[in-house]
Amino acid sequence: MTIVAKTRLHDRVLSGHGTLMGQCLGAGLPVASSCSGRGACARCAVSVLSGMEALSRPGSHELLVLSRNGYPEDVRLSCQCRVMNRGAQVLITTGYW
Ligand code: FES
């Protein structure tokens, strides 16, 4: 599994386990949040540039929150998804990295 976070300065390879949000924070990348990862605020949204199929499927609550906030289909709540396919590469970014 390789998760690459695309930032303005360079691409960062993330490692570890857990949610995308947890892996970003573990690598020192800030992730916006006002609900502490409970899937309510939608501020932790990340754009998935590639590898969407390797992520856990969004649950009904995540889909509702994404829809309510008008996010397109290539966006996931980083606090709600994990990489499921360990052989995959996932490329993510945000507007503030
Ligand atoms: S941190 Fe609030 S929805 Fe993910």
Choose the weakest-confidence range: 14-18, 46-50, 77-81: 14-18
Contacts of 84 (CB under 8 A, 6+ apart): 54, 55, 56
Contact residues of ligand 1, CB 6 A cut-off: 33, 35, 37, 39-44, 77, 79
The tens digit of pLDDT for each residue in 21-59 reads: 999 999 999 999 999 999 999 999 999 999 999 999 999
Domains of the chain, CATH where assigned:
2-93 (3.10.20.30)
Residue bearing the CA closest to ligand 1, atom 1: 37
Nearest ligand 1 atom, CA 33: 1
pLDDT at 17: 83
* Residue with CA nearest ligand 1 atom 3: 39
d(CA 27, CA 50): 20
